[in-house]
Structures are given as C-alpha cells and as structure tokens.
Structure 1
Amino acid sequence: MTGQHESDQPISPFLARFHADLFRVSMALASQAVLWRTLNSASFSDPWPPIFNSIVEKSFWLLAALVLSSSSLAYLFKCIFYFDVVKAEFLDRWRVNYFFAPWIAAILLLQCLLPNRYDRWRGSGWEGIKFLNWGHLNSAISRAFWCAFTMPILLLEVKIYGQWFTKGKRFLSTVANPSTHISLIGNFVAAQAAARLALLELSLFLFAVGIVHYVVVFVTLYQRLPYNDSFPAQLRPASFLSIAAPSMASVAWASLTGDFGSGCKMLHFLSLFLFTLL
C-alpha cells in the first residue's frame, strides 16, 4: 500500500516552475566560452599566458554544456508531463523568444569545437597537453551539427515571423518586447558559424533575414506604441538584449567578409550608443 501511495503522488512542481527563460543561463555561459576562445587567438594580445585562456575557455565550455544538457532534459520532462504549461509559455509574448536560447547556446558551443589555426598555444610547449587539444571536429560533422541546431531556429522564426504578416491578433506592434532580440541573435550566431564552416550563401541568407527583422523590431520598440503595454519590472533587465543584437551582427558580418570593416564598426558603435541609453 505504501508503494502504491507513493506512486500516486504527483510529480514535483519543480518541472512546472522550470520556465523556458532559464535557458538564458546556458546561452550566457556558452558566450563566455566563445569570448575566452577569442582571447586565446593570435589576433588578440593580452597579458595572460595562452594556457590560462585555454583552461578558462574549456572550463566555461564544460559548464555550459552541463547546464544546457541538464536544462534540456528537465524541459523535455516538462513537455511530457506539463504540456499545457509549455503551450502557455509558447503563447506568451515574452517567454516564446527564449525557446531560441538553447539552440543559440548549442551553436556557440559548436564554434568552440571548430579548429582554429590561430590558437596561440599551437607550436608551443603546450601543444602536447590533451586538455588543449580535445574536442576539435572535422568539417562534415561540424556542418551536420550546425544544420541540426539551426533548423529549429528557422522553424521557430517561420512560426513567429509568419504571425506578424497574418490577420491574427499577434501583430509585431502588440507582441514586440526586448526578448524579441533573442530570435535575431539566433540568426547572427548561426550566420557566424556558417561563415566559419565556409557556408557563405547560408550565412548571407541568415544574416539578411536577421538584419532586416532587426530594423523592424528596433523601430517598433523605439516608438513605444501606446497599445503596447509597459514592460514588467522583473523582465526589464531583458532590455540589455538590444545591445547584443547589433554586437552579434557586427561579429557575424566580420566572419562573413573576413574583415572588421566599416559595416561592422557601424553596428558596433550602434551597440555602444544603445548601451549609453540603457
């Protein structure tokens, strides 16, 4: 009887409280891994030894991968046992954008696994250390992973962007909010990874879709239309996502063109200006 009573107990409400916006943690950790990998390249000079940057990069990568995998597993169980709650989150104008976050984090982690001939520790005494050499993928496997991580982003964009052109109630002017930038960041992150994988046409396609919709979203949010209610206080930190979109766009365009030219600098300066506004 005791075992039957325990089996009849409801599932822990932790799953019901596990919202999609928690995926932002893995996205932030993955971006830190990419940052430290950039610091470890020969194109950037810093006072730290190369092995220090590599250790920090790998540590952030492992932590981000652990958080992403555990969060994805928890949300998978939530989809099974609390599908109505997941559906409500998908219909929420704020939290629907966080469904892009796990795929963005996965693409960022993938970029850390791409071989980089500019690694500062190559050709040095640290090249034989296994902790620095693990995890490099070849081109075919990297492209397969890129397609697997990018396809959900495109499907979500078709669903969300398509609603802006239909006659339904979910017009951009009524649902736009700072978290909408996450979908745009997904375009730029995927475009940067595609450029590094020599998929230039796909990279240009993703960048074009992202930059056009960024202009539309930026103008909509900047106008602060009267029928678009104010942002909830607990979600106001999401306003800083408006800085991430042009910043990521500048990096993606630099990867696409091979040079941090005038276009990249314009987007970079725009992000600095938005930072001063916030």
Structure 2
Amino acid sequence: MDMTRLTQCIHHRSHALTLSIDLKTRMEDRAHANSLNHEYSQEQVASESSNQVIKRDTQYNSFKTCSGKLERQLSELIGKTQELDLEANEAVPDVHLYFDALEGPELDTLKATETLALPEDKTWPFLLRFPISSFGMCLGVSSQAILWKALSTVPSMKFLHVSLKVNLNLWFISLALTCIISFIYSLKIIFYFEAVKREYHHPIRVNFFFAPWIACLFLALGVPPSVTQNLHVSLWYALMAPILCLELKIYGQWMSGGQRKLSKVANPSNHLSIVSNFVGALLGASMGLKQASIFFFSVGLAHYTVLFITLYQRLPTNQPLPKELHPVFFLFVAPPSVACMAWAKIQNHFDYISRITYFIALFLYASLAVRINFFRGFKFSLAWWAYTFPITGASIANIRYSNEAENVISPTLSVVLSSISTFTVASVFVSTFIHAFVLHDLIPNDISIAITHKRPPKLKKKKSSHFKSIANDAH
C-alpha cells in the first residue's frame, strides 16, 4: 500500500516536472521568436527607410552632375535590385520636343497632353529651380547705374544737378547682386550640370547665357569715376571671349543648324545675343579699341537685320507667338538703343547712322508703349525684368542724343524717359522682393527643363470604343 502511494507520488512529481520544463521551454522559444520578430521588423523598417531615402534622392538623378552612383551602391549593399532609371539615361531633349511639350512666349508652360520627368506636386531643390533668366535682374539694376551716371555727367543734363553718389550706390548694389546670382548659378553648374545642359538646349533659355557677360559689361560701363577712371583693356578681352564663343555656336546654328535654324527658333529673346555685340562695341570704343569695336558692331548689325526681318515676317516655319504681348517683346528696343551709342562712340560724334538707329529705337519704344493694355494679365515672374534694361537703354540713348541736338524737346524727353525707367525698375524690384521673401513664389518648379520623351497614355481610343459599345447596346 505504501509502495503504491510512493510510486504514484513519484509519478505525479515527475509529470509535474515534465510539464514545468515543457512550459519553460515554450516560454523561452516564444521569447526568442518575439526577439527575432522584433529584430526583423527593425531591419525591415530600416530597409524601407533606406529605400525611401534612395527613392527620394534618385528622382532628381537625371539632373545631377553625378547621376546617383552612391545610391546604386547603397542599393546593392542592402540586397535590393534597383530598377533601371530611364530618365537618368535619357538624352537631352531635341529642340522639337521643347516646342511639342511646352507653350507660352518663353516656352515655360507645360501642355495639358504632356508629362514631366519630376513630380509636379512637390517643390524641387532650390538650385534645380534656379533659372539662367535670373541674370535679367542684374541687367536691370546695372543699367540703372549707367543711366544715373549719364544724368550726372552729360552736359545737357546738368540742369538736374544729379549727384554721382546715386551712380556709386547703384553700382555697388548691382555689383553685389551680380556676384550673388553668379555664385548661386555656379553652384547649380556644380551640382546640377545636367539641368544646365537642358537650359542651354532650350530654344529660348540659351539666349540668357549671354546675360551674365552683358551684366559685367554694364558694370564696366557704369563704373563710378571715384572707383576708377580707366579700365584695363584685358577686361574687355576677358568678357568678349565667351560672348564670341557663344555667338559662333548659336549664329552658326541659325544659318545651318537644321532644327535650330533661325526660321525655326526666332523669338524676341534672341535680341540678347545681338545686344552683347553692341554693348561690347560700346565698351571697346570707350577703351580705344576701335577696330575690335567695329568688328563686333558689324557682326551685331548683320544678325540684327536678319533677326528683325524674321520676327516681323513670322515665317510659316516659326512657332506662333501668342496674341497677348509679353515683357520679352520690349527686347526689340534694346539693340538699336545700344547700337546708336556704340556707333557714336566709335565715330566720336552722333552722326547720321547713330541718329537712324536712335530713331528706330524711339519708334519701337513708342509702338510698344501705346499698346500697354496688351501687357496686362500676366502673373509676375522673373520675365518682368525684360521691361527694365531696354527701357533704360532707350533713356540713355536719348540723353546722348540730347547732348547733340540743340532743342528743348530732347532734354525734356530725357527726363520723362528716365523717370519711367527708374519707376519701372523700382516697381519690378519691389515686386521681386515681395514674391521672393514674403510670398515665396518667385522661383517655382522649372518645368521647362523637366520634359521627357515619355508620353502619357492616350484616352481617346478608350473613349471612342466606350461610345461604340454604348451605341451597339442601344441598337
């Protein structure tokens, strides 16, 4: 009896011990499994976050100087097969693609039937959005320095008693502005060189690559007498060398460039490439480089004549301009305004050629000014700076002419035009400041450089088939 109870007790204890060991083992296994699941979830979260970082960064790879080599290496390290980035390998669009995908006077508006290589619902990096047309601000402010220098030094305007301090202050402001914009765009060249290439191949943006050098020429022309009386001629050669290189490329394309011939890409912004010749001739003549000045004046005059006729004819091969006028149309005034001063400086007096070009500029100015209603309704943008330096150039030309003409009308007209010019530049400058630092919408996504060879799926066929099915059901 006792042996039986003892055996049963031992059996119950061994069974309880076995259950305890099994329970402990299960708890340890469950804890280990939970630990493994936690570690796996952490690794998965880290992997997903890494993938998100890579995905976020790679969407701008096609515009970076180095197209995402580091991101591809990171993808290989985490064991994820990276999808082929078609946009990164996509070549710079041909000129016809810009005309097919974009619209507007500056080809900066995406057509409804097109798509972009970058997300439209996100704000792109600042450097990627910063356009070459920003140098238009430098042209407007630096031309004001030249205007107020003329108002204070030309004998016919002495009755205004304008101090040279105005010229000094404006010159330093324009110098600082040019340095800031040049520094920012240099960063874009370093980090987003592919985007710069797309701007260079843009049929309108390419003309703004003359703007940095024209701005430097304006700074040289508007330098205050208190800073220096004479500039070294090496400065002229340094500024005109890149302009000559750009002209050899672009003018050659105009003549025999196939898709980029002038009859195809002619637009008002082409005047920037023409103005650079006349501004260079004006500065060169001021430095005593008469033959070099005549050379650039001749090149500018020849191509200005061809461009002027092409824009007036609007050949069937040209892309149609909108009915509404646009700020860039005031660039028509710039070439003859600067040309008259350049030739007068070469000849040392305001002869008949200078007077002819001056009156052409004055007539173009008046023909645009009387149509002021057609310039309304445009949202403010950097393109508004196209108003500034052509108007200022016409004012300076009138001041130079008033010094030769012996009448009362010319000095009076100089005061009126100078007032309009100063008011225009001040208004555009204030608007630029408000949109840049208050509204924060001055530099939106630059969709003109983000067009792609891809096309969105067409829905017309689907709609037609849907309508056919409805018609069949009705029958």
Global fold match (TM > 0.5)? yes
The residue type paired with residue 149 of structure 2 is R
**1:185 matched to which residue of 2?**
275
Alpha-carbon distance change, 274 to 157 in structure 1, aligned in 2, over 3 angstroms: same
| Counterpart Cα distance in 1 of 2:322 and 2:158 | 40
Matches within 5 A, 1:155-194: 155-194=245-284
Q: CA deviation at 1:112?
A: 2.4
The residue type paired with residue 70 of structure 1 is I
SS of residue matched to 1:146? helix
**2:80 matched to which residue of 1?**
none
The residue type paired with residue 310 of structure 2 is T
Q: CA deviation at 1:227?
A: 2.4
Task: Confirm or deny that 1:136 pairs with 2:228.
Answer: yes
Task: Confirm or deny that 1:97 pairs with 2:207.
Answer: yes
Instruction: Work out whether residues 247 and 268 of structure 1, in 8 Å CA contact, stay in contact via their aligned partners in 2.
Output: yes
Paired residues in the alignment total: 252
Q: CA deviation at 1:114?
A: 7.4
Q: CA deviation at 1:59?
A: 1.4
| Counterpart Cα distance in 2 of 1:216 and 1:80 | 36
Match of 1:57 among 149, 162, 167: 167
Instruction: Work out whether residues 149 and 224 of structure 2, in 8 Å CA contact, stay in contact via their aligned partners in 1.
Output: no
**2:308 matched to which residue of 1?**
218
Alpha-carbon distance change, 235 to 80 in structure 1, aligned in 2, over 3 angstroms: farther
The residue type paired with residue 64 of structure 1 is S
| Counterpart Cα distance in 2 of 1:215 and 1:65 | 33
| Counterpart Cα distance in 2 of 1:30 and 1:207 | 22
Q: Identity across aligned pairs (percent)?
A: 41
> Which deviates further from its counterpart, 186-195 or 56-65?
56-65
**1:25 matched to which residue of 2?**
137
Instruction: Work out whether residues 274 and 300 of structure 2, in 8 Å CA contact, stay in contact via their aligned partners in 1.
Output: yes
SS of residue matched to 1:104? helix
| Counterpart Cα distance in 2 of 1:46 and 1:19 | 40
Q: CA deviation at 1:165?
A: 2.6
Instruction: Work out whether residues 38 and 44 of structure 1, in 8 Å CA contact, stay in contact via their aligned partners in 2.
Output: no
Task: Confirm or deny that 1:48 pairs with 2:138.
Answer: no
The residue type paired with residue 197 of structure 1 is M
Alpha-carbon distance change, 85 to 205 in structure 1, aligned in 2, over 3 angstroms: same
Q: CA deviation at 1:26?
A: 0.2
The residue type paired with residue 228 of structure 2 is H
Moved over 3 A (4+): 7-12, 231-235
Q: Give the number of the structure whose alpha-carbon radius of gyration is greater.
A: 2
SS of residue matched to 2:316? coil
Match of 1:196 among 276, 286, 300: 286
Instruction: Work out whether residues 188 and 196 of structure 2, in 8 Å CA contact, stay in contact via their aligned partners in 1.
Output: yes
Instruction: Work out whether residues 265 and 319 of structure 2, in 8 Å CA contact, stay in contact via their aligned partners in 1.
Output: no
SS of residue matched to 1:229? coil
Q: CA deviation at 1:110?
A: 0.9
Q: CA deviation at 1:226?
A: 2.2
Q: Which runs of 5+ in 1 are unaligned?
A: 116-132
Instruction: Work out whether residues 114 and 138 of structure 1, in 8 Å CA contact, stay in contact via their aligned partners in 2.
Output: no
| Counterpart Cα distance in 2 of 1:42 and 1:224 | 40
Match of 1:88 among 198, 206, 212: 198
Q: CA deviation at 1:56?
A: 1.3
Q: Deviations over 1:11-59 (max 9, x none)?
A: 97111111111101101111111111111114232443342xx121111
The residue type paired with residue 259 of structure 1 is H
Q: TM-score, normalised by structure 2?
A: 0.50
Higher relative contact order (CA 8 A, sep 6+): 2
Q: TM-score, normalised by structure 1?
A: 0.84
The residue type paired with residue 258 of structure 2 is G
